[in-house]
Amino acid sequence: MMYSLEAGGKRLRPILVLSAAEAVGRAEQARKLAMPVACAVEMIHTYSLIHDDLPAMDDDDFRRGKPTNHKIYGEAMAILAGDGLLTHAFFAVTRAVSLGAPPEAVLAIVSDLARLAGAPGMVGGQAADMQGEQGVTSLEELEYIHLHKTSDLLVFSVLAGARIGGASSEQLEALQRFARKLGLAFQIQDDILDLVGDAAKLGKPVQSDVEERKVTYPYLIGMEESQKLVVRLTQEAKQALAEAKLETPDTLLAIADYLMSRDH
Amino acid sequence: MMYSLEAGGKRLRPILVLSAAEAVGRAEQARKLAMPVACAVEMIHTYSLIHDDLPAMDDDDFRRGKPTNHKIYGEAMAILAGDGLLTHAFFAVTRAVSLGAPPEAVLAIVSDLARLAGAPGMVGGQAADMQGEQGVTSLEELEYIHLHKTSDLLVFSVLAGARIGGASSEQLEALQRFARKLGLAFQIQDDILDLVGDAAKLGKPVQSDVEERKVTYPYLIGMEESQKLVVRLTQEAKQALAEAKLETPDTLLAIADYLMSRDH
């Protein structure tokens, strides 16, 4: 569990939790209360990577520049490390209560996490991805996969932080749209980087999607259209962010810009 | 997910949740409020069976008289079905709030579930079991494995039901001792049945532990001592139950007696 948690990565999801909590208001206290939830979402993300890398799934040998979990500890321990991280994430969320977060907000976060990381969310996206590899994937199916496999956990991160920060239901609705667009842009950028990125910066070989015959946005609509789509989705995300009328949206805005222009 | 949930089984854990909730008091209302938690614990149990049966783990072809999940759906889908059930269990727990259960009790249940089903509990027991297969297992190590792999989820079931029923902290403490003894007796009886049971009643081949060279109580201390231990642990469980001073302990008592004498 610690090997994969400590392997690094962008920490995008915990940063989104903390940034959303701060953006709503009472920044310092919100950041403290949101920390267990920020840790929880990184545990969920890390478990999903461990399981995705398994031989029965994507069969990847490297992740974040290091051998994948099962390459070091074997398949059985990798499955259990994933199960342990997934389960512990919910323990971490409940710790926010002992720091002073309102029980109702924490229960809503538990419910959101179970929904957005589960079969109606991330797990469902991964299952659709696995099944998609066995046949033709349409643009609609690809969008379904991306929305659930990637966006849903980003949506969770932003919503959870905002809940801790005391966001109104109108703010939560606008932030959900923000995170959904951001997540789709993020995943298309991932597809693009797999084709034209730098293996050293990415920490994994490029063109692995091509080798694994994965259907991607560049494959379906071309590189130029994909790049245009990333720009458009990022603009729509920023528009939704403006509609959330946050006290200090600057960090979330900066994250949207960074994700669009990142090279790894 | 549904294939394995509907494959049957004793439903011991949900029955413990409901029985504990009723035993504390206000039986009818407690049963209604405890139902989502009863479903949740069966999802956790079922996910653990799906993952335990995988080729990288125990590599079992049959479970509850049917082909195991990965035999039907393949390894990738079996891993994801397990992940989905594990995650959805936490969603189910939060549903108790909308039925009227107190948010504080439900948060305590989420926390208990994450701890007792996670790395400090069931997942840890399974990991120790996997590692134990690679070397000599002492009686102490075997007890650790049984306590966490099996007892912890039974402890959760009894505690969760009791929390919904409104148990005092003294009652929770006594019920925890009850469930721990019961769980150990249950697992030793499992070991015994694997040696002398009826394959048709068990829904799986007998002597599979011997074939897989698993260290069991009968292997370590002999059949006669194992049978005596089941009787002694059951008596200790019933003693702890008496100390919980429940309004209507009858069903929990009957479950303890049934588990000791069961043939499958």
- What is the predicted pLDDT for the residue at B131? 86
B136 has a pLDDT exceeding 70: no
Q: Round to whole Å and give the CA distance between B190 and B188.
A: 5
In percent, how much of chain B has pLDDT > 90? 78
With cut-offs at 50, 70 and 90, classify the pLDDT of residue B133. low
Domains of chain B, each with CATH number or no CATH:
11-261 (1.10.600.10)
H helix intervals, B133-249:
139-146, 152-165, 169-196, 199-202, 208-211, 217-221, 223-243
Chain A: nearest CA to B87, how far in angstroms? 5
pLDDT at B202: 66
Interface list for chain A against chain B, based on CB atoms closer than 8 Å: 1, 47, 51, 54, 56-57, 74-77, 79-80, 82-84, 86-91, 93-94, 97, 103-104, 106-107, 110-111, 113-115, 117-119, 123-124, 126-127, 130
- Backbone Cα Rg of chain B: 18
Kindly determine whether residue A84 and residue B123, on different chains, have CB atoms separated by under 8 Å.
yes
- Residue from A37, A264, A3, A77 nearest A158 by CA: A37
CA distance B131 to B32: 41
Prediction ipTM score = 0.94
Nearest CA in chain B to A106: B107
When computed from its CA atoms, the radius of gyration of chain A, rounded to whole angstroms, is: 18
DSSP, collapsed to helix, strand or coil, labels residue B63 as strand
Identify the residue whose tokens are 């759906």. B73
> At residue A145, what is the residue type?
I
pLDDT (0 to 100) of residue B262: 84
Separation between Cα atoms, residue A9 and residue A5, nearest integer Å: 9
Taking a C-beta distance cutoff of 8 angstroms, is the pair B63, B45 a contact? no
| Whether pLDDT at B207 is above 90 | no
Comparing CB atoms, the residue among A88, A94, A119 nearest residue B107 is A94
Q: Residue A98's CB: how many other CB atoms inside 10 A?
A: 10
Map residue A62 onto helix, strand or coil. Answer: strand
Whether A51 and A196 have beta carbons less than 8 Å apart is answered as: no
Query: Residue B62: enclosing H or E segment and its boundaries?
Result: strand B62-63
Which residue reads 């068990």 in tokens?
A: B202
How far is C-alpha A127 from the chain's CA centre? 16
> What pLDDT is recorded for position A17?
97
From the CB of residue B27, how many other CB atoms can be counted at a distance below 10 Å? Answer: 17
The one-character DSSP state at A247 is S
pLDDT for the residue numbered A136: 61
**Contacts for A140 with CB less than 8 Å, ≥ 6 apart:** none
Instruction: Mark yes or no for CB contact B110/A87 under 8 Å.
Output: no
Contact A32, A26 (CB under 8 A): no
Q: Are B90 and A82 inside 8 Å of each other by CB? A: no
Distance (Å, whole) CA A51 – CA A66 = 15
SS3 (DSSP) at B67: strand
Q: Which of B80, B12, B59, B64 is nearest to B262 (CA)?
A: B12
Residue of B nearest to A48 (CA): B83
* pLDDT tens digit at each of 264 positions of chain A: 999 999 988 999 999 999 999 999 877 889 999 999 999 999 999 999 999 999 999 999 999 889 999 999 999 999 999 999 999 999 999 999 999 999 999 999 999 999 999 999 999 999 999 887 666 678 899 999 999 999 999 999 999 999 999 999 999 999 999 999 999 999 999 999 988 877 776 666 677 776 666 778 998 999 999 999 999 999 999 999 999 999 999 999 999 999 988 877
CA distances for A10 relative to A41, A158, B30, B215, angstroms = 13, 16, 46, 44
Helix A75-99 and helix B75-99, axial crossing angle in degrees, nearest 10: 20
Q: For residue B199, what is the DSSP state?
A: H
Residue A169 has which token pair? 């239901």
Rounded Cα gap, residues B118 and B220, in angstroms: 27
- Asked if B130 and A77 come within 8 Å (Cβ–Cβ), the reply is yes
Contacts of A130 in chain B (CB under 8 A): 76-77, 80
What's the confidence (pLDDT) of residue B248? Answer: 93
Q: Helix or strand or coil: residue B5?
A: helix
β-pair partners for B67: B62
Q: How confident is the model at residue B204 (pLDDT cuts 50, 70, 90)?
A: low
